[in-house]
Amino acid sequence: MLRLVYFPSPGRAEAIRVALSLSGSEWEDSTIDGERFQAMKEGGELPWGMVPVLQTPDGTIAESSAILRFVGRLAGLVPEDPYQCAKADEFIDGMEPLSKSLDSTFRIASVDERIRLRKEVFGPSGKGTRNLIRLEGKVTESETGWAAGTDEMSIADLKLFTGLFGLFSGNYDGIDASVISEYPGLIAYHGKVSTEPRIKSHYADVKAEDIRWTFLPGAFEGQ
């Protein structure tokens, strides 16, 4: 039995959740609040003091990308070809600057200041924008349309799809979904992944008002 421990939001756990669900393994989605997080941290249950973690019969695995590689194998989403596998890994590691681009804004108490800083991140010379431009280039250049140029959808696609589009759900004040309208390549990529039969079926019960609306087909059309 595998148990994923994270906050209820998609955040750094969503790609792992999708892979676990596609793997057909028995697993539990253990969602925690801040108090439980603190207790787990103080109790030494978090190897690096952070979540997500995956509790397995052999012990606890931390670091979202390591967990994604582990569960991605169970789901058949890690390419067998060593070069393609390395390219998927490269893509996952290469996405870290985007994942980190908002980190400095989380602990800002003033909402106005938080919004200002986040608008800057996705402003003309912000680091969020730099990453979106780079990612737009990557998906446009890919001969197969999959993020890392793999023959089939891979863990890199789960990471990009959830990590990128999850930022625009409205969960992060100051980040507007209309930002994505500037990136036709990313919108086309969203269409490819969101309509992939396994992904579409995974999100089949999500409603337009749910936090996960950005993973539904057509989510960014007309933004």
Is 63 near ligand GSH (CB under 6 A)?
A: yes
Min separation Cβ 51 and ligand GSH, Å: 4
Q: Which residues neighbour 148 within 8 Å (Cβ) at sequence distance 6 or greater? A: 84, 87, 88, 90, 91, 142, 154, 156, 157
Is 12 near ligand GSH (CB under 6 A)?
A: yes
Residues 49, 151: Cα–Cα separation, whole Å: 36
Residue 82 tokens, joined? 């060593």
* Element (DSSP H or E) covering residue 186: helix 184-194
Q: Which is nearer to ligand GSH, 63 or 120 (CB)?
A: 63
Among 22, 54, 64, 148, binds ligand GSH (CB under 6 A): 64
Min separation Cβ 16 and ligand GSH, Å: 10
Among 4, 51, 54, 121, binds ligand GSH (CB under 6 A): 51
Q: Which is nearer to ligand GSH, 37 or 183 (CB)?
A: 37
Residues 83, 223: Cα–Cα separation, whole Å: 37
Beta carbons of 65 and 93 less than 8 angstroms apart = yes
Q: Which is nearer to ligand GSH, 36 or 116 (CB)?
A: 36
**Binding piece for ligand GSH, criterion CB under 6 A, among 25-33, 47-55, 118-126, 171-179:** 47-55
Q: Which is nearer to ligand GSH, 84 or 99 (CB)?
A: 99
Beta carbons of 20 and 75 less than 8 angstroms apart = yes
**Binding piece for ligand GSH, criterion CB under 6 A, among 49-57, 77-85, 156-164, 183-191:** 49-57
Q: Which is nearer to ligand GSH, 7 or 140 (CB)?
A: 7
Q: How far is C-alpha 13 from the geometric centre of its chain's CA atoms?
A: 7
Among 40, 50, 74, 177, binds ligand GSH (CB under 6 A): 50
Separation in Å, CA 16 to CA 130, 171, 187, 203: 26, 19, 22, 14
Under DSSP, the state recorded for 12 is: G
Q: Which is nearer to ligand GSH, 192 or 212 (CB)?
A: 212
Give the residues lining the site for ligand GSH (CB under 6 A): 11-12, 50-52, 63-64
